[in-house]
Amino acid sequence: MSRPKVVLAYSGGLDTSVAIPWLSEKGMDVVSVTVDVGQPVDLEAVRRKAEASGAVTAYVADARREFAEEFLAPALRANALYEGIYPLSTALARPLIARHLVEVARREGATFVAHGCTGKGNDQVRFDLSTTSLAPELEVIAPAREWKMTREEEIVYAKAHGIPVEATKTSPYSTDENLWGRSVECGVLEDPAIEPPEEVYGWTRSPTEAPETPTAVTIGFEQGIPTSLDGNRAPFHEIVLALNQLGGRHGVGRIDHVESRVVGIKSREVYECPAAVVLIGAHQALESLVGPRDVLDFKRGVEQRYAQLIYDGLWFAPLRTALDAFVRSTQERVTGEVTVKLYKGSARVTGRRSPYSLYQQTLATYSTGDRFRQEMSEGFIYVWGLPARTWTAIGTQPTALTSRAAKYRA
């Protein structure tokens, strides 16, 4: 009798490494899937490790360009920041990985998919909901929700099964990396009163150790998407990689955030997102140059909801798709260049230009060449303030006016 197949989202980290023998002991053949979303690891070594750990088949997929163009680009156009702080690096990768899991599960004839998420985290929600949205017929298994092992016990289990892991009892950090950022949790970070030690950072220098000379970088955008760096055209994912390195060298992109998880608990997370911080700031600056005020005001509310949907695992929900259509429509004129100065942990916009700029110097200047008809402002203010004046006049009783006037009598 053949054993049922389960397709496992495999990173090569502690949880998924332990999951292979655990699922095998439960009577399943494990097919591992490792998706390259920009994490700096040897994917071939990860594939070999999966097979050595007991996977019957190990797939690897290069999805960096797919990740950038189909997930990061929409998030950038929406200036997606969860709680106004977190660029959603980990959250954005999960629906993409789930899509690959579903594709492999159908190819392999599997009836289950699995992931290494715990019952406390957000990623379990993202994997489960993405899978349900794409393939309701598949059943999701989350071993870490069932085995009730602590991280220390997982390390012991892994060693007993001959599986090498990077996590140790003295360095228990849990990390996740992709093109858009790096996240770190566990260990001393679980106390939000303690400053993160330098050892938790892997992409960014301490701002105090960053270069003394600032670096200015000019980013070219076409319809809201970066297309060039200092005049040199490049694919979006290569621009992200370059800005991660450049921004990290200047200490840009460190985020220390106590966030509200989907499951209802608070969690302290440390993120490194140099490219995301630089690009979102630059994109916002360009939008402010070319966008009408009412569109920008309305879009800010959409951006908050868009980020919430991503964080909550609802990438494939109809509302996210509908909001994306609106966001795309706002980007038709978001074309131009933005210059950002990187220095000691900061990324400051210092210049912006666009052929669609709504900033007109002949209207804004107070010098020679001023074309603004200042004499027209009095009539505009009269009409603009008419509702407020009418409201006050109708609602003010004469007796009240008399009593207030009495206070000013000599």
The whole-number average pLDDT for the span 236-259 is 97
Give catalytic residues, as residue numbers: 15, 94, 123, 174
Please give the Cα distance from 220 to 231 (Å, whole number): 7
Residue 347 has pLDDT above 80, yes or no: yes
Task: Give the per-residue pLDDT at 118.
Answer: 86
Q: Report the 10 Å Cβ neighbour count for 144.
A: 24
3-class state of residue 46 by DSSP? helix
Residue % of the chain over a pLDDT of 90 = 80
3-class state of residue 165 by DSSP? coil
What pTM did the predictor assign?
Answer: 0.91
User: What is the average pLDDT score of the chain?
Assistant: 93
The residue among 80, 69, 90, 71 whose CA lies nearest residue 284 is: 80
Tens of pLDDT, residue by residue over 251-285, are: 999 999 999 999 999 999 999 999 999 999 999 99
Please give the Cα distance from 138 to 126 (Å, whole number): 15
Please give the Cα distance from 193 to 178 (Å, whole number): 27
Structural tokens at position 270: 């440390």
Q: Report the 10 Å Cβ neighbour count for 394.
A: 7
Domain range annotation of the chain: 5-169, 176-353
**Alpha helix locations (H) across 333-406?**
361-364, 377-384, 386-395, 398-406
- Is there a contact between 327 and 223 (Cβ–Cβ < 8 Å)? no
Q: Which CATH superfamily is domain 176-353 in?
A: Argininosuccinate synthetase, chain A, domain 2 (3.90.1260.10)
Which fold is adopted by the domain 5-169? Rossmann fold (3.40.50)
Q: Does 407 or 118 have the greater pLDDT score?
A: 118
- 51-80 b/e with 16+ CB inside 10 Å = b? eebbbbbbbbbebbebbbeebbbbbbbbbb
Tens of pLDDT, residue by residue over 314-344, are: 999 999 999 999 999 999 999 999 999 999 9
Tens of pLDDT, residue by residue over 11-70, are: 988 889 999 999 999 999 999 999 999 998 888 999 999 998 999 999 999 999 999 999
Tens of pLDDT, residue by residue over 168-218, are: 555 568 889 999 999 999 889 999 999 999 999 999 999 999 999 999 999
Fold match between 5-169 and 176-353?
Answer: no
- Is there a contact between 86 and 253 (Cβ–Cβ < 8 Å)? no
Classify burial at 190, counting beta carbons within 10 Å of its beta carbon; exposed 0-12, middle 13-18, buried 19 or more: exposed
Task: Give the per-residue pLDDT at 407.
Answer: 65
Residue 122 has pLDDT above 70, yes or no: yes
The whole-number average pLDDT for the span 129-136 is 97
